[in-house]
Amino acid sequence: MALAPPAKKRLSQHFLIDRNIVRKIVAAAALRCEETVLEIGPGRGILTRALSASARRVVAIELDRSLGRTLEDALVGCGNVEIQFGDALAYPYGTLPQGTVVVANLPYAISTPLLFQLLEAHGRIDRMVLMLQTEVAKRLAAKPGTKDYGILSVLTQYRTVPSLAFRVSASCFRPAPAVGSTVVTLAVRPVPAVAVTDESLFVRTVRAAFAHRRKTLVNSLRDEGFPLQQILPALQAAEIPPARRAEALAIEQFAALADALSRG
C-alpha cells in the first residue's frame, strides 16, 4: 500500500479520520440500494467506501490527482465507485441522474459557490448531506432577524428544507481545521417554498437587498441598479416599510417584493 500524500494547505485539505462520524453521515443520508451518490472531495476515501456499501453507484469528484493511488488502495473491491478527477466548481451538475443524493465534506474555501451550484441543479438532486464550516451551516438554517440570516439562508430555504444534524470536532480530521464543522441535511423541495413570477428576478432581488446589509432596502436596491421610481411603488405594493433592512424580511416578503418589482 502506497504512503498517502500529505494534506495540501493550498487546497484546504482536512481529511476525515473518525469512522464513527462516517457512520453518522451515512445514517443521515438514509441511502437506498438503488440510489446514486455524488461525493465532492473524497480525499483518502474513508467516507467513499462506506457510501459504496449502501448505494448502487458512487461518483466521487476529486481535484487532487496525487490522491489517485491512495483512493485505489482505499476502495479495493468497491466496483460501484467512479472517481472523476477535476474541479468541482466546473462539474456539470445538470447532467446528474434524477434523484441523486449528494454527500460531501465540502472544501470550506469554496463551499458557498458550490452550494449555489448544487441549488441550481435542484431538479436532479433529491437531498444533500454536507459537512460545512459551522458558521456557513448556521446561515443555511437561519431565521429572519438573526445575524446569520442572509442571501444563503433565503436561497437555500427557497429550494430546500435545511436541518443542522450534528457538530464534528476538529480532532476528527487530519490535520485538524482551525474552524468548527457541522453536518447539515438539505431535503430538496418538490416545489419552491414560495411561488414567484420571475425566479431570476427573485434571486436578483435577494442578492441586491443583502448587498449592503447596513443600508435600508431602498438604498441597497438602488445601489444595485434598481431605479428609485420602481423601488418605492414595489415596496408599497408588497407592504414593506422603505426603512426596513433585508435581514428583517421573511422569504414570503422577498417573493412579494420581487413580484411587485416585476410589475414595475
Same domain, yes or no: 184 and 219: no
Cell of residue 122, nine digits = 435542484
Tell me the whole-structure pTM to 2 decimals: 0.93
Q: Tell me the pLDDT tens digit for each residue of 1-57.
A: 557 787 788 877 889 999 999 999 999 999 999 999 999 999 999 999 999 999 999
**28 and 58 co-located in one domain:** yes
Among 188, 215, 235, the domain boundary falls at 188
Q: Which of 160, 188, 216 is the last residue of a domain?
A: 188
Q: Which domain holds residue 231?
A: 199-263
From edge to edge, which strands make up the β-sheet containing 57-62?
Answer: 81-85, 57-62, 36-40, 100-105, 125-133, 181-188, 160-168
pLDDT tens-digit map of 227-261: 999 999 999 999 999 899 999 999 999 999 999 99
**Top-confidence residue, 72 or 11:** 72
Q: List the grid coordinates of 249.
A: 424580511
Using CA atoms in the order 216, 217, 223, 229, what is the torsion angle rounded to 10 degrees?
-120
Same domain, 175 and 203: no
Q: Residue 201 and residue 255: Cα distance in Å, rounded?
A: 10
Are 61 and 88 members of one domain?
A: yes
Among 45-49, 106-110, 168-172, the least confident range: 106-110
127 and 222 assigned to the same domain: no
Q: What is the tens place of the pLDDT at every residue in 208-236?
A: 999 998 899 999 999 999 999 999 999 99
- Same domain assignment for residues 132 and 80: yes
* Residues 26 and 76 occupy one common structural domain: yes
> Which of 157, 188, 219 is a domain's end point?
188
Same domain, 60 and 153: yes
